[in-house]
Amino acid sequence: MRTLSRSPFVVIACLAAALPAAAQEPDGGVTLIRPERVFDSASGEVREGWAVLVNGDRIQAVGPLESLSPPDGARVVDLPGATLLPGLIDAHSHLFLHPYDETLWDDQVLKEARAYRTLRAGVHAERTLLSGFTLLRDLGTEGAGWADLAVRDAIEDRLIPGPRILAATKAIAATASYAPGPRGWDPDLVLPQGAQMVTGEAEIRRAVRDQAGHGADVIKVYADFNRAAGTSPTFTLEELEALVDEATAAGLPVSAHANSPEGMRRAVLAGVRTIEHGSGGTREVFRLMAEKRVVFYPTLAASAAYDEYFSGLPGGWELDAPDGGLTPRIARSLQAVRDAREEGVIVGLGSDVGVFPHGESWRELAWLVRAGMTPTEALQAATVVNARALGLEGKVGEIWQGAFADLTAVEGDPTVTVEATRDVVFVMKGGIVYRSPE
């Protein structure tokens, strides 16, 4: 059933594998949604008095209320005082992780049963959807193998509620260059690993083929890692080129974890589409990223959460926390965003949620504002910018005729106060209502 339901999209766009077939008729009928205002993500404008007509799983029309003509018997959803937005997109998540102040990463990977982690991921998926995020790019199961594909498919088959998922499966790291260990552990222990470990072109190509063959939507690679001597590149440029070449042959984009200038530079030169974290990015590297149109995901919310847990950052995600209270890590990450934007790099919203609680990806919006974006720019990062970065332009991220009816509404106006994205009153995905004030 799954294979058949996805097949129409394979031809249209490689990344559409996680999207349900157009023919699906969620609730049948037509729905008229009447919010106070509609956020037009492409222009950044807020349209007072606009409304949206949904037919099946698609947006049929958007415009001033009086210009829409719903058929008799159409369902009406009234959202007074609320702003209707395209469903938000978090381009960097880990559904298989939960906050490290609950359970340390090592303990999650080594002690929690995969079945337990998978059930948890299902709960996390529901929380994510109900918080207005209707699409995740989930960048690695962190030791839970292929289980993200099962969660993705269970959501697609409507067994459980959740966002659309672009799944990376295991992720790829260089031998002995991820976690857990081997540093800090009995060297004779054979530890389960948080990624698929490889060395050399042949192993890299095998890993990409393996992941693509199992049904990954994206290939995630760790281009550098914090080792004994500090953060340094773990793959050669030639290895990364082989990885991108193999992924491209399979129709998949590549996302690279990289914090060091050289790790970032190699990944960008090799042809990855997105850089994750990038806290050590130099002006030169950001210029290269801008030139190659590589999208930057600074994952500020996760860095802040990490420093809250382990470095005494007080209430790190709160916008009113004094700048003086920032840890060096956060200060550096914020500066990286400012530098990148000055060099013309596209910055999207990718929070690395899982490090902090699922359902709170809105924190990254708040952090992007703190890094210098206007609330409107942060909302665009979470919608139209991410849709383009993920190759899903026109399908998601915009309230646009023909796009999927993936919508969320929040109290108030998030283009004025971005924290309004916390106060979700309505969520629809593919024309199905998952949250409503009624």
Please identify, using beta-carbon distances, which residue of 217 and 352 lies nearer to Zn ion. Answer: 352
- The distance of closest approach from Cβ of residue 431 to Zn ion in the complex, given in angstroms and rounded to an integer, is 31
- The distance of closest approach from Cβ of residue 324 to Zn ion in the complex, given in angstroms and rounded to an integer, is 28
Instruction: Specify whether the backbone of 170 is left (phi greater than 0), alpha (psi in -120 to 50) or beta.
Output: alpha
Please identify, using beta-carbon distances, which residue of 60 and 103 lies nearer to Zn ion. Answer: 103
- The distance of closest approach from Cβ of residue 94 to Zn ion in the complex, given in angstroms and rounded to an integer, is 5
Binding positions for Zn ion, 308-367, rule CB under 5 A = 352
Rounded Cα distance between 170 and 119, Å, is 18
- The distance of closest approach from Cβ of residue 353 to Zn ion in the complex, given in angstroms and rounded to an integer, is 9
- The distance of closest approach from Cβ of residue 70 to Zn ion in the complex, given in angstroms and rounded to an integer, is 42
Contact 353, 302 (CB under 8 A): yes
Cis, bond preceding 180 (omega within 30 deg of 0): yes
Closest residue (Cβ) to Zn ion?
352
Site residue total, Zn ion (CB under 5 A): 1
Please identify, using beta-carbon distances, which residue of 222 and 404 lies nearer to Zn ion. Answer: 222
Binding positions for Zn ion, 227-246, rule CB under 5 A = none
Please identify, using beta-carbon distances, which residue of 87 and 140 lies nearer to Zn ion. Answer: 140
- The distance of closest approach from Cβ of residue 168 to Zn ion in the complex, given in angstroms and rounded to an integer, is 10
Question: Concatenated DSSP letters for 312-332?
Answer: --TTTT-TTS-GGG--HHHHH
Rounded Cα distance between 178 and 207, Å, is 16
Pairing of strands 432-435, 424-429: antiparallel
Nearest 5°: the CA angle 316, 318, 320 is 115
- The distance of closest approach from Cβ of residue 302 to Zn ion in the complex, given in angstroms and rounded to an integer, is 7
Please identify, using beta-carbon distances, which residue of 53 and 139 lies nearer to Zn ion. Answer: 139
Please identify, using beta-carbon distances, which residue of 352 and 419 lies nearer to Zn ion. Answer: 352
DSSP 8-state symbol, 363: H
Strand, helix or coil for residue 281: coil
Strand partners, 220: 255
CB-count exposure of residue 350 (10 Å: 0-12, 13-18, 19+): buried
Number of residues that this document lists for the chain? 438
**CA dihedral (169, 273, 224, 358) positive or negative:** negative
Please identify, using beta-carbon distances, which residue of 57 and 352 lies nearer to Zn ion. Answer: 352
Residues at the site binding Zn ion, with contacts judged by CB under 5 A: 352
